[in-house]
Amino acid sequence: MLSCRPGCGACCTAPSITSAIPGMPEGKPAGVPCIQLMPDLRCAIFGDPRRPAVCGGLQPSAEMCGPDRDHAIRWLTELEVATAPTMAIGAAASAAATTASSSAASTAAVALAPR
């Protein structure tokens, strides 16, 4: 089985998480690094029962992880958009614009993250 790439952390940044995380009781929005993501991009609560179940359920895969972090961020962001709740048609265009800017925000967050 594929191993998680050290220094990636894409899974802890690109997707939204709806369950509570210590320090983020409402979960986290897409494109925002998890508060539990340490500067070396490892999880501060790995093995802690308060870690959301979804974190342990997400397994590395060649399709998702790809050759580098940028690929993984892009892939996970596209998945996030594809699985977002269906909206009324009138809201779809503005949502698309928001998605484009949140994607840019995601890229900015990644650029700010320590490597």
Biggest distance spanned by C-alpha atoms of the chain: 44
The neighbouring-strand residues paired with 21 are: 24
Q: Does 106 engage in binding with ligand SF4 (CB under 6 A)?
A: no
Q: Which is nearer to ligand SF4, 16 or 94 (CB)?
A: 16
113 binds ligand SF4 (CB under 6 A): no
Residues facing 63 on adjacent strands: none
Count of Cβ atoms closer than 10 Å to residue 67 Cβ: 9
Start-to-end C-alpha separation, the chain: 25
Which two three-digit tokens encode residue 93?
């265009």
**Interacting positions 24-83 with ligand SF4 (CB under 6 A):** 34, 36-37, 43, 45, 51-52, 55, 60, 64-65, 72
Instruction: Determine, following the binding rule CB under 6 A, whether residue 110 of this chain makes contact with ligand SF4.
Output: no
Residue 60 vs 99, nearer CB to ligand SF4: 60
DSSP code of 32? S
Q: Which is nearer to ligand SF4, 77 or 102 (CB)?
A: 77
Angle (CA) 7-9-15 rounded to 5° is 165
Q: For residues 72 and 110, which CB has a smaller minimum distance to ligand SF4 in the complex? A: 72
Applying CB under 6 A, the residues found at the interface with ligand SF4 are: 4-5, 8-12, 17, 21, 34, 36-37, 43, 45, 51-52, 55, 60, 64-65, 72
